[in-house]
Amino acid sequence: MSTPALVSVRGLRVAYGDGPLVLDGVDLDLSAGEMVALLGSSGSGKSTLMRSLTGFAPISEGLVHVVGQDMTHLPRGGLRHVRASVGQVFQQFNLVGRLSVLTNVLTGALHDAGPVNLAGGFSGAHRRRAMELLDRVGIAHKAAEQARSLSGGQQQRVAIARALMQRPRLVLADEPVASLDPKMSHAVLGLLREIAHDDGIPVLVSLHVLSLALEHSDRVVGLRHGQVLVSAPTAQLDAAALDALYSHDDQGAARVRDLV
pLDDT at residue 252, rounded to an integer: 42
Helix (H) or strand (E) holding 203: strand 203-206
The size of the chain, in residues, is 260
SS3 at position 229: strand
How would you class 52 by CB atoms within 10 Å of its CB: exposed for 0-12, middle for 13-18, buried for 19 or more?
Answer: buried
The pTM of this model reads 0.90
Interior/surface letters 177-187, b for 16+ CB within 10 angstroms, e for the rest: beebeeebbbb
pLDDT at residue 113, rounded to an integer: 56
Compute φ and ψ for 203, nearest 5 degrees.
-120, 120
pLDDT at residue 248, rounded to an integer: 63
| Mean pLDDT, each 10-residue run in order, the chain (260 residues) | 81 94 97 96 94 94 94 82 93 93 93 56 88 96 97 96 96 95 96 97 95 96 95 91 74 43
pLDDT at residue 81, rounded to an integer: 87
For each of the domains in the chain, give its residue range(s) and CATH number, in order of start.
Answer: 7-94+169-259 (3.40.50.300)
Question: How far apart are alpha carbons 43 and 223 in whole angstroms?
Answer: 9
pLDDT at residue 254, rounded to an integer: 42
Q: Using the Cα atoms of residue 219, residue 134, residue 104 and residue 113 in order, give the sign of their dihedral.
A: positive
pLDDT at residue 214, rounded to an integer: 95
